[in-house]
Amino acid sequence: MIRFEHVTKRYADGTTAVDDLSFHVAEGELVTLVGPSGCGKTTTMKMVNRLIEPTSGRILLDGEDITAVDPVRLRRRIGYVIQQVGLFPHRTVLDNTATVCHLLGWPRKKARARAAELLDLVGLDPAVHGGRYPEQLSGGQRQRVGVARALAADPPVLLMDEPFGAVDPVVRERLQNEFLRLQSQVRKTVLFVTHDIEEAVRLGDRIAVYGEGRIAQFDAPTVVLGAP
């Protein structure tokens, strides 16, 4: 589903953030990218939806070189969730969730029905939380809205960059469990960035362990943990 072929990213100041990276993520697989800060995880992620262009190498999505795909069409196929989910402060939770559907020109009623369905899926009550504004939600709830919004147009691919990094450990564990349950229903192809090895192990079908712009190890959690 997602294939990196000898991808290198060198920033203008000469920093090589990602160095000759090749890997493959299968359809419906959840891969966690784990490693210390500054080792190239976010750069890897942002190259998939073309927020960053590789210096060399290529990235294929479903067998198609992403540079050949119209950027709007590309982002329609990719949901994106980041740590500080940027919700529109003056729009309700329901409208925030329906953003992509509105952009795609769905009829208003259909967009709102889809948003309500998604809020329910991430554990929020559309009747209770849908009419609130982002500032009226807890941090954990805002992240759930971010996940719901990313899923609204039913993209096959989900990019998640430390989505649960800013909430306290108890809430984080609950969000992780909810996300695993959600993933068992929706089966997206997921790249999930974290610097927390426990989170990587709990969520990943496979784990890409980063070091200095490269993947040092790419295996199932049991193998990474060195289980017999």
Place of tokens 């190239």: 40
> For residues 29 and 37, what is the distance between their CA atoms, to the nearest angstrom?
24
* Residue 56 binds ligand ADP (CB under 6 A): no
**Cβ atoms of residues 152 and 100 within 8 Å:** yes
Q: How far is the CB of 172 from ligand ADP (least distance, A)?
A: 9
Over the window 111 to 140, marking each residue x when it contacts ligand ADP by CB under 6 A and - when it does not, the resulting string is -------------------------x-xxx
- Give me the least distance between CB of 5 and ligand ADP, in Å please: 19
Binding map of ligand ADP across residues 7-46, x = CB under 6 A, - = no contact: ----x-x-x-x-----------------x-xxxxxxx---
- For ligand ADP, how many residues bind (rule: CB under 6 A)? 18
The residue among 28 and 38 lying less far from ligand ADP, judged by its C-beta, is: 38
Binding to ligand ADP, residues 137-176 (CB under 6 A):
138-141, 171
d(CA 158, CA 29): 10
State how far the Cα of 142 lies from the Cα of 136, in Å rounded to an integer.
9
Closer to ligand ADP by CB, 69 or 171: give it: 171
Rounded-to-integer distance, Cα 62 and Cα 42, Å: 21
Residue 49 binds ligand ADP (CB under 6 A): no
Quick one: 147 or 153, whose CB is closer to ligand ADP?
Answer: 147
Our CB check for ligand ADP shows the closer of 34 and 101 to be 34
| Least distance (Å) between residue 182 CB and ligand ADP | 15
19-27 long-range contacts (CB < 8 A, ≥24 apart) are 19/212, 19/213, 19/214, 20/57, 20/214, 21/57, 21/213, 21/214, 21/215, 22/57, 23/208, 23/215, 23/218, 25/1, 25/189, 25/191, 26/1, 26/189, 27/1, 27/156, 27/189
Residues that bind ligand ADP (CB under 6 A): 11, 13, 15, 17, 35, 37-43, 136, 138-141, 171
